[in-house]
Amino acid sequence: MKLIILDRDGVINFDSDQFIKSPEEWKPIPGSLEAIARLCQSDYRVMVATNQSGIGRGLFDMHTLNAIHDKMHKAVALAGGRIDAIFYCPHTADIDCHCRKPKPGMLEDIAARYNVNLKGVPVVGDSLRDLESAVKVGAQPILVLSGKGSKTRSAGGLPENTLIYPDLAAAVVTLV
Q: Which residues are catalytic?
A: 7, 9
Distance between CA atoms of 72 and 75, rounded to whole angstroms?
Answer: 5
Give the phi and the psi of residue 83 in degrees, each rounded to 5.
-110, 120
Q: At what angle do helices 32-41 and 168-175 cross, to 10 degrees?
A: 20
Q: In angstroms, how far is the first alpha carbon of the chain from the final one?
A: 14
Distance between CA atoms of 43 and 80, rounded to whole angstroms?
Answer: 13
